[in-house]
Amino acid sequence: MGRTGFETSVLVYGAAALGEVDQDTADASLEEALAAGVNHVDVAASYGGAEDRLRSWTARLAREGVFLATKTELREADASWAQINRSMERLDVDHVDLLQVHAVGDLDDLDRATAPDGSLSSVLRARDEGLTRFVGITGHGHDAPASHLEALRRFDFDAVLTPWNHVLAADPGYRADFLALVDACGEADVALRTIKTVSRRNWPGGGSRGGYTTWYEPWDDLERVTAAVAFCLRQPGVCALATAGDVRLQPLIHTAAERAPSLSDEDIERVLAGAPGYSSPFIDTPI
């Protein structure tokens, strides 16, 4: 993970999956992830009950050297500072490894976050007071890579979490923005992680469908999930990808990550190019 020096697993446990489950379900999913070798957990204050579900795990995660990240999606410094401290209470920790300005998807939002009274100032205060070691930025939407590139011009973030998958890469403008972000992260030794790996499209008609808790309709067959994971992991400059926001998809993604190295570039194209219903998850973004 770049200048952090942390050797991350290629999968980051996307703890949005814990937002709507009970503790027993959360426990089983986290146990499974650790057994699969995952050593990086990413949560957010806005992920429902996810931080509460992690509370009974944080002491063990620390003992086992698991990298713990959380986020604040609020934009005003005072509100964000209160949320950050509430996250520490919910997680029952006195610090996290990475604290991220969350869901910055366009330049207007970046302006709010990086204003003198914006949330970045509260994240930096948290770093200065020992509540986090590293500072990051995340975001969704078609403008996310370009916005994150501009964010790196404004502040020396340690980590970026931005969307990348096969169908987004097919858009020439998006691909150019993402590859420019890859170069900038490489030059500054910034950890670049990706999201939306197994997204298929927006839920038809909007909202959550199909029994999943993901914000988008996911691929849920092993062949396409494996190809999607292989595509992201094959991108130079990407150190890890976040797993999907539903505990039922986690085992499938673990298996896909194990099988991904065996796929050729031709295999990936055969499976994903022209796959039915494959489109950007940001045509009608619910968040």
Q: Is 163 helix (H, G, I), strand (E, B) or coil?
A: strand
- pLDDT of 287 above 70: no
- Is 42 among the domain residues? yes
Q: Looking at residue 205, what is its pLDDT?
A: 75
Q: Do the domain assignments include residue 279?
A: no
- Residue 114's pLDDT band (boundaries 50, 70, 90)? very high
Q: How far apart are CA 240 and CA 12, in angstroms?
A: 6
Q: What is the mean pLDDT of residues 170-180?
A: 98
- Whether residue 212 contacts residue 249, with contact meaning beta carbons closer than 8 Å, is answered with yes
Q: Is residue 156 part of a domain?
A: yes
Cβ-contact 91, 121 below 8 angstroms: no
Q: Indicate whether 281 belongs to any domain.
A: no
Please determine, for residue 144, whether its predicted confidence score (pLDDT) is greater than 80.
Answer: yes
Helices and strands (H and E) in the chain: how many? 12, 10
Give the range of the structural domain holding residue 58, as residue numbers without chain letter.
2-272
Q: Which own/partner pairs from 58-64 qualify as long-range (CB within 8 Å, at least 24 positions apart)?
A: 58/91, 58/92, 58/93, 59/92, 62/93, 64/34, 64/39
DSSP letter for 263, please.
Answer: -
pLDDT band at 207 (very low <50, low <70, confident <90, very high): low
pLDDT of residue 180: 98
Taking the complete model, does pTM exceed 0.95, yes or no? yes
Rounded average pLDDT over 98-116: 98
The verdict on residue 287 lying in a domain is no
> CATH code at 84?
3.20.20.100
Amino acid residing at 205: G
148 is written with which tokens? Answer: 């994150």
Is there a domain that residue 19 lies in? yes
Q: What is the mean pLDDT of the chain?
A: 96
pLDDT tens digits along 227-271: 999 999 999 999 999 999 999 999 999 999 999 999 999 999 999
| Structural domains counted in the chain | 1
Region 35-39: mean pLDDT is 98
CA pair distance 18, 43, nearest whole angstrom: 9
Say yes or no to pLDDT of 61 above 70. yes
Q: Is residue 69 part of a domain?
A: yes
- 285 pLDDT band, cuts 50/70/90, is low
Asked if the structure places residue 286 within a domain, the reply is no
